[in-house]
Structure formats: C-alpha cells, structure tokens
Amino acid sequence: MRIWMIINLLLQLVYTRIELSDIQDIQKTVIDNQNRFIIKSSGPLNPLHGYIYINNSYMHNKRFYSPEIKTSYSMKVSRNKNSTTPEYVYVRTPLHDKVYQDLRTGSVTEKYLGKYHSRIIKMFPSRDGVISITSSIPDSLFMFLKAESTVPYTNYILASLLLLGECADIRIRIDYNDSIHRLILYNKDSTKMFINAPLYVSVTDPVTGKSKDKYQSEVVETINFFIQSRTNPDLKKHGKFSKPITREEFLTGKFMNSTRFLIQSYIFEFIQSRSEYIEFIRAVYEILNDQLIEGSVHKKKSSWRKLFEECFTCKDDLSSEIMDIMPFYKIKERMALDRIFPLQTHGQVPTSTRVPIYIRQDREFSKNNEEQYSNCAESAILGLFYCLVYDEHNNTYTTAHITKASSDLIRFFKKYTAPSDSTDIDMHKLWCKVVSDLEDNQIQYNIRNNNIMSGLINIYRVISGITGMTLKLSGVLNDLHKLSIKSELSENDTIYIQECIKSLLLPICTYKCIRIICSSMKCTKLANGIPDIIGNISIIFTSTNGLHNEICLMIQDKHTKLTLITDNNNNNIQIINELKYLIDTYTGINYFIGYLITEYIKNEIVQMCTSGYVYESVNEINEIIRCTLNNPSVLHIFLYKSINNQYKSLFILAFLTQTLSVQVPYNNNVLRLTHNLIGSSSLDDTSTRNKVLYGFIYNNKHKLYYPDIEYTCTDLCSISIHDISYIYNYIMRLNISCMIECLNITIELSKPGTDMYNILYTNLQSELFISKVVETGCINQLIRIYNTINKYNTDRLCTNYTVCCWFTYICIYYSYPTDYITYIYGIIISRRVYREAVNKMISSGYIKNAAYNFKMARDALCTGDEYNKIIYEEMDKIMTDANNQCTKYKKEYKLVF
C-alpha cells in the first residue's frame, strides 16, 4: 500500500483515549520482569495527568487561547448584492497559527515561551479547530513516530522526551555522521542502542505519486527544544514554570508553560490503549534502571535515584499508593453506573463546531478549508438522538428499534455505543455522514447539500429521512407546510404541531413516555425563501423509575441549539453532595495530582449545577480587566475546563467596556487573549457571532484591536433575549462612567419593538439604575442619559414612563441630594406627565414614603414660577389622599383578622 494511502487512513481513524478503568489497571500493573515495581500515583507516569489535562481542556485552552499564539482567522463582509442583511465569510486556519514575533527578541524567559508555544502549535496542529496531534505534514512528530522505520523506537523516544521534561540528563542526540542522519540513544555504557531511528523517512507525494526521502526537520527541532530546555532554571524545582508544590502555585496555571505539561499531554493523546501505555512505561523503566546499574544504586542522593523513585515504587505499596486516588475513581464509576439519561450535565450536550463539507457520492470530506461551516443544527439533532436511542437499562445506545434506520445512522451508534463526557471532532464528522448530503431534495442546506438550514419542517425532514419515516409522515409534512405559510399560528396550530412532533419521535424513542411542549412558534422563511416554522420544542422523557429529564430544541432564524433543562434530579443532587465532600477530602492532599483532581471535581460540580453561564466568574474577569495595563498572566483562566461562548462574550464585553478611555498596547496579554477567544469562535454562526462580538458596539477601537474582523455593529437584532439580559446584567455592574457610556451608545442604536430596546429600557426604568446613578453623586451622568433618550427615542410614552420611574424611586428614598429630585421634577413638569408620575408612585406600594418625602421636598420643588407651585399642590393632594386610603385599608384589614 502506498504511504500516502496509509497517511490518509491514519488521519481518518477515530482515535480513542485511555479510559479511567484503564488508568486504574495501569496503576496496579507490575512493570519489571522481577515483579517488583509499579508506577507511583503521584509521579509523572500516571496517565491520570494526561486524562485531566485533556478532559479538563487544559491543553485545548493552552493551544487555542494562549496570548503568545496569534490565531489565524478572518471574517469579511460578503459582497452579496441580493442579501438585505450583512453576510459574513469566516475562515479559521489552525495550521497557520504562529507565535508572536516579539517573543523571539525578548528576555530569556520570553524567548523560551516563544519556542515553547511554537512546539505546542507543531505538536498539536489541530487542523479542525479541536485539540489533536494528528498531522499529514510529512516531517511532523506524529508522522515520524508512526513511520515504519521509527515504530520499534517510538516508546523510547516518548520516554526520553518525558524524562527530559523532568529535567533528566538523557543523552538522546542527532547523529550527523551517518549519511541519512539518525536519532540515537545509547545505554549508559554504550553497549546497546535504545533508539536508532533514521531521520530521512520515505514518503509518497500525493500529487505525483513518486516516493522520496523526507528529512524530519520538525522532529529535529522538537528534540533539540526538549534537550535545550532541560537546563532552563524556570523549569527546575521552584522555577517559574516548575511543578507546583502548593495549591496557590497550582491555581496560577503557570505549570502549563512547562515541557512536562506539554509531553504528558502529547503522550496521553498519542497512546491509545492500556497495553500500549504499559509498554511505554517499561521503556521509561528500562532507561532509568540502566542509569542505576553498577554502583549508582547505592548513591541515595543521586538525581537518577530520585527520579526513579518519583516514577516507580514497590508493588507492596499499592494500597497506600491508590488510597488517595480511589475515591475519585469510585465517584466517576458511580456517576456512570447511575446514569438514567445520556445527558447529565450541560457540558455533555453537543455544541456546534467547524466541520468540513461531506461529499456523499465520493464518501469523503472536502479538503478545502474555506468550505468548513458551523454545524449548529447538526449538533442539535445529534444531541436529540443521544436521548432518543439511549437504553437506560444498559447505559448504551441502540438503533435496533428503528427498523428502517439508515446505514450511516446504524454505523454511528455502533461506533459510539455509550454516552461520553463530550462530543469530539471525530464524532461530529461521523455524524455529518449521517445527516449531510441526503437524497431528499426537499431538505434545505446552506452549502453544497451541507449545513442544515434552521427550521422545524426542515429538521423534521432530516430526522424522518435518516429513520426511514419520510413516506409514512408525508401527510404530516404537508400539513406542517400549510401552517408555515400562515401569517400567524394559533393556539390550536401549536397543539397540532406538538402532535406532529410526537408522531415522529415516539416510534424512534426508547423511552415509552415522552411529552412535547411547543412555545413561541412562529412562521418564517429560510435563507432561500422556503416557508418554515421556528420556536422552542421542549421534550420531557420519563424513565422507568418515574424521573423526568427535559431538553429543549430551540429553533431560531439561522440558528438551532439544544439545551438541557432538567439535570438536577435527586440522583444528581446526591452525586453533587458526594463531590463536594470529595473536595473537602482532597483539600488536605498537598501534591500535584491532588490539586488536579480537586479542580477537576470543581468543574464537574459547575457543569452539573449551572446552565453554562458564568455569573460566578464576573468578579474574577473584572479583576483581570482592571489589571490589563499591567499585562497580567491569564493562565489561571485555562483551569476553567472548556471556555464556552458565554464566557468568551462576557470576557470580550468586559475588556471592551472597561478600556474605553485607554488604548491597550498590541503586545498586551489580555488583548491577545481576546483576539484568540474571538478567532476560536464559530463566527459563521449568526447567534454565536452576535453574542461574542456584542462588545464591539461600545468601543470603536475594536477595528484597531481586531483588524481581521469586518463587522457591522448594527447587525445585532437577532441576538436572543436571554443573551441580551445577560449582557445588561453585566453592564449594570460596571462603574458609573463606563455604565453610562455603554447605555448611551445602546440608546442610540436600539429601535422600538426589538428585544434590545425592551431590555434596555427595563434596566433604565429600574430602581438599580437610578440608585446607582444618584449614589455616585454624578447628576451630570443622569443628565447625559436623559438628553440621549430625548434625542434618539421616538417613543414618547416609553420616555415618559422612564422619567416617572426615576421620580418614583427618588421620592421613595429621599436620602438623595435635592438636585436630583429637582432635576427630575423639572422634566416631569416640562413633559406634563405629573399625573402619570403620581400613578406610578401609588402603584409602587411605597406611597407612604413617597408622599412624606414629597412633602419634605416642597421648598426645593416650589421655587420659580407659579405653575410649579400649582402642579406641586395638585400632586401633593393626590398622593396624600392615596396614602390616607391605603392607611385606612390597612387598618380595616387588621380589624378583620
């Protein structure tokens, strides 16, 4: 078989990782022939390090968000003259990511960081935007380790790199004497070669088909980097990037800048099975044991002896070695065994990512990077199918009950037979083979029969197509189409839609009882003008023990997503309590693996307790932004597991709103982090784009900070009401000057009838707003807001009501300076809305306080012309009467009882 065919096969393999059960077995396995040693649980050979690095997204965050790396992406406005709204072309090319040039000429530490992050890019090329070591580049480390001429030495090469990461003096080197150059490693007395791998590897050009020897220059760079870094003081004990010895050091995240972290992450990704990992451990044992032969074994202070003891321990110590780790394993096993629903946490719900075009006729994916798209509808359908085909009794997926399931659907769930903690890129791509480029020409796609358009009827067709029910449900589809062309859907229409959805889902669902609830159903048109329906579809699954689990399929214009609604049943609450108890247990364990486990458990609790939003992170984000000009480290952010779109949007919003008055230098860590957060988002998806880029409307310097982004800030009308509410909750927390600046900008842009407008004025009319403005003593800020409202808001009734709300809160809490009540009273008089203001005060429920404080302000309010006094007396009388009536009613109320 040609080498290029082998390469292609390697790249299409669905790589598996070592599971927790394998890690437990590895820790119990005796390594040496004399039946003496096992790996030390706290040592560098414990694969639990790599498991947490990968599953807690440490390496993902490091690869895609590090401020040392310039993410390669662009978003340009499409020149489509037929479109009435802006369209964008987003291109993300991870293979073109590079290290910032200024790191190459800085201090010793900066130069090291430059080289280190270059290695991360090379060792984790991640061509699909998801962390991966696979590469088709012929001189990449991955391809070299997989080459036939290298395979006999692969474990020793990985072992050498791991020991170099521990700052061991491993004499691995490049032999330039041989005409083909070799990577070599001798044993201690040079009588045996652990490694003798040629550095010219035969590859076949996929274009010409000719074979040639390719020098492994990238491999040489990687080996030399590890050798040179061995003596770096920043990596040695107590160095900046050394293994943390206290919890405080761990929480800085600086250990992620070490070669130790890099190679442990790589090895966990590279080695695919328990047996392979044990062979790798034996290679480490053989190299270390060789250094201890002939006398050095008696030198207790020997660095080799210390390293050996960090890696291995006697098998008799097994019980004490696993004592600290076992509670973690047991709770993870319990969580898997007690599963009654495939989606237990929000992090397990599939979310959109970038996937390539699938060409069904050729049974392959397009190699054109610019043809990738954000698979929001596909991901939502996948999450729905996780629930539909889940067998709660066996904790597995099954399609046996779907008699006419497509071969691709069957193949997918034969490959992925049980729920997992996340949906990786390989699963997304295999799912594309299920739902993309289907034969039904009535299914609407965006690009070359890929990228399913967001609409209820369209998604209905996809599901019925892959389950063989299209013909059976043709009448239902016709009925739905008739509904889609109506001007408005009635309550009966919504009930009928619910029955239609149930007729589709119940026959293909393993749960015997499901309930469908539709809300906010509206008729719409897809991007190509085809009528459809959008809205929210809640699906409630009832398990055999009577517990309910609910998901919601939210179908919006140009966007579909699946959310987990019910995930806090009694079973989850019990597990959360056990996890919290486990945190208390691990808090007393003061070594690195204990810190990793503690943080892992914390993230598990967050995933189980929250909806994915990051209210708890606001204060920490604000602290980072406040220190922006001091160029703070941002590594601790990477400990937060997967950084989702909500966190990204909040961080970018915080950065842009809190740096309005300054220009942040281009080499600033926080600015570069936001650049990468933006670039690693699916900006071709309208919902994600508007959410992540919302902060652009507040800071014009975004064009300077992010030159690769072309964006029309007025294209925000489609942002969801939930996301807008979240954004304004944050804005109302800003300091007074930033808050007023942001609100003024939003007043200018918002239009009556939109969600942005409604939520904006809900906040402007709140007690929180007026109290914050007045308590700061900045009446000029209130004047600015009113002048902006008066200038840009054409809805007179809304403006009047806003002013009445302000006056009400001022009167109720009259500890404020008189200039505020005088100013707002003047507006009340000028707009002739004093009766509305009184009615608002009466309806507030605090008329007694308002009436009393209004009287106390008489001298301040009755200055000037006679008209002011007349109006004051009229208002005072109404308020006094209302107060008296309220008091009388309360007395009568008390008498009755």
Ordered DSSP codes for 460-471: HHHHHHHTT-TT
* Type of residue numbered 606: V
Q: How many CB atoms are located within 10 Å of the residue 128 CB? A: 22
pLDDT at res. 568: 47
What span, in angstroms and rounded, lies between the C-alpha atoms of 876 and 336? 67
What residues form DSSP beta bridges with 450? 447
Under the banding of pLDDT at 50, 70 and 90, the label for residue 557 is confident
The count of structural domains within the chain is 4
The values of phi and psi at residue 176, to 5°, are -90, 0
pLDDT at res. 788: 93
- Looking at the structure, tell me whether residues 157 and 193 fall in a common domain: yes
What span, in angstroms and rounded, lies between the C-alpha atoms of 150 and 116? 24
CA angle (747, 749, 752) in 5-degree steps? 75
CA-based nearest residue to 675, from 634, 627, 724, 619: 634
DSSP 506: G
- Of 320, 354, 376, the position where a domain reaches its end is 320
What span, in angstroms and rounded, lies between the C-alpha atoms of 219 and 202? 15
Lowest-pLDDT choice from 30-34, 306-310, 586-590: 586-590
What span, in angstroms and rounded, lies between the C-alpha atoms of 620 and 614? 10
- Calculate Rg over the CA atoms of the chain: 32
Q: Name the helix (H) or strand (E) containing 847.
A: helix 847-856
- Of 320, 354, 373, the position where a domain reaches its end is 320
CA angle (802, 803, 807) in 5-degree steps? 120
The values of phi and psi at residue 93, to 5°, are -130, 85
- Looking at the structure, tell me whether residues 743 and 666 fall in a common domain: yes
pLDDT at res. 402: 94
pLDDT tens for residues 496-509? 999 999 999 999 99
- 281 vs 520, which has greater pLDDT? 281
CA-based nearest residue to 357, from 453, 450, 452, 454: 450
Residue 426 has pLDDT above 80, yes or no: yes
The structure tokens listed for 157 are 């090469």
Lowest-pLDDT choice from 28-37, 166-175, 849-858: 849-858
What span, in angstroms and rounded, lies between the C-alpha atoms of 402 and 404? 6
pLDDT at res. 715: 62
- Looking at the structure, tell me whether residues 380 and 505 fall in a common domain: yes
CA angle (497, 502, 503) in 5-degree steps? 95
The whole-chain average pLDDT of the chain stands at: 86
DSSP 814: T
Contacts for 89 with CB less than 8 Å, ≥ 6 apart: 75, 76, 77, 78, 370, 684
Residue 152 has pLDDT above 60, yes or no: yes
* Type of residue numbered 658: Q
Residue 80 placed within a domain: no
pLDDT at res. 751: 82
Task: Give the number of C-alpha atoms closer than 13 A to the C-alpha of residue 532, restricted to the C-beta side.
Answer: 24
Under the banding of pLDDT at 50, 70 and 90, the label for residue 373 is confident
pLDDT at res. 732: 85
Residue 129 placed within a domain: no
Under the banding of pLDDT at 50, 70 and 90, the label for residue 5 is very low
Residue 381 placed within a domain: yes
What span, in angstroms and rounded, lies between the C-alpha atoms of 681 and 691? 10
Residue 757 has pLDDT above 80, yes or no: yes
- Looking at the structure, tell me whether residues 858 and 711 fall in a common domain: yes
What span, in angstroms and rounded, lies between the C-alpha atoms of 572 and 334? 11
User: What ranges in 293-419 are assigned the alpha helix state H?
Assistant: 303-311, 318-323, 326-337, 376-388, 407-415
The structure tokens listed for 213 are 């020897």
pLDDT tens for residues 330-354? 888 777 766 778 887 776 888 888 8
Task: Classify 698 as helix, strand or coil.
Answer: helix
CA-based nearest residue to 536, from 562, 503, 506: 562
| Long-range Cβ contacts of 242-245 (<8 Å, 24+ apart) | 243/592, 244/592, 244/595, 245/590, 245/591, 245/592
- Looking at the structure, tell me whether residues 39 and 158 fall in a common domain: yes
Under the banding of pLDDT at 50, 70 and 90, the label for residue 298 is very low
- Looking at the structure, tell me whether residues 578 and 554 fall in a common domain: no
Q: How many CB atoms are located within 10 Å of the residue 589 CB? A: 16
DSSP 230: T
- Of 320, 355, 382, the position where a domain reaches its end is 320
- Looking at the structure, tell me whether residues 417 and 494 fall in a common domain: yes
What residues form DSSP beta bridges with 138? none
What span, in angstroms and rounded, lies between the C-alpha atoms of 212 and 386? 46
Task: Give the number of C-alpha atoms closer than 13 A to the C-alpha of residue 281, restricted to the C-beta side.
Answer: 29
- Looking at the structure, tell me whether residues 176 and 267 fall in a common domain: yes
- Looking at the structure, tell me whether residues 535 and 643 fall in a common domain: no
CA-based nearest residue to 462, from 425, 512, 505, 413: 505
pLDDT at res. 273: 87
Residue 98 placed within a domain: no
Residue 223 placed within a domain: no
Task: Classify 596 as helix, strand or coil.
Answer: helix
Percentage of the chain exceeding pLDDT 90: 46
Residue 230 placed within a domain: no
The values of phi and psi at residue 643, to 5°, are -85, 105
Residue 125 has pLDDT above 60, yes or no: yes
What span, in angstroms and rounded, lies between the C-alpha atoms of 844 and 849? 10
3-state secondary structure 702-746: HHHHCCCECCCCCCCCCCCHHHHHHHHHHHCCCCHHHHHHHHHHH
- Looking at the structure, tell me whether residues 281 and 356 fall in a common domain: no
The structure tokens listed for 105 are 């000429």
Go through the chain and tell me how many residues it has. 897
Question: Regarding beta strands 445-447 and 450-452, do their DSSP bridges make them parallel or antiparallel, or are they unpaired?
Answer: antiparallel
CA-based nearest residue to 352, from 327, 373, 328: 373
Task: Indicate the burial class of 659 (C-beta count within 10 angstroms; 0-12, 13-18, 19 or more).
Answer: buried
The structure tokens listed for 848 are 């007694």
Task: Classify 36 as helix, strand or coil.
Answer: coil
Task: Classify 185 as helix, strand or coil.
Answer: strand
- Looking at the structure, tell me whether residues 597 and 617 fall in a common domain: no
Contacts for 400 with CB less than 8 Å, ≥ 6 apart: none
- Looking at the structure, tell me whether residues 296 and 431 fall in a common domain: no
17-31, 465-479, 584-598: which has the highest mean pLDDT?
Answer: 465-479
* Type of residue numbered 375: N
CA angle (158, 59, 114) in 5-degree steps? 80
CA-based nearest residue to 160, from 290, 274, 255, 63: 290
pLDDT tens for residues 263-294? 999 999 999 889 999 999 999 999 999 988 75
| Long-range Cβ contacts of 410-418 (<8 Å, 24+ apart) | 413/389, 415/14
The structure tokens listed for 238 are 């107590």
Residue 394 placed within a domain: yes
What span, in angstroms and rounded, lies between the C-alpha atoms of 272 and 265? 13
CB contact burial 490-509 (16+ within 10 A = b; e otherwise): eeebbebbbebbeebbeebb
Contacts for 742 with CB less than 8 Å, ≥ 6 apart: 657, 698, 731, 734
pLDDT tens for residues 790-824? 999 888 899 999 988 888 888 887 566 678 888 88
The pLDDT of 407-436, averaged and rounded, is: 91
CA-based nearest residue to 196, from 215, 211, 180, 212: 180
Residue 783 placed within a domain: yes
Task: Classify 362 as helix, strand or coil.
Answer: coil
Dihedral sign from CA coordinates of 402, 567, 427, 612: positive
What span, in angstroms and rounded, lies between the C-alpha atoms of 390 and 396? 6
CA-based nearest residue to 187, from 228, 226, 159: 159
Dihedral sign from CA coordinates of 363, 365, 366, 371: positive
Contacts for 500 with CB less than 8 Å, ≥ 6 apart: 460, 476, 479, 480
The structure tokens listed for 613 are 């939003």
Domain limits at 202? 3-57+137-218+235-320
Contacts for 664 with CB less than 8 Å, ≥ 6 apart: 628, 629, 670, 671, 701, 705
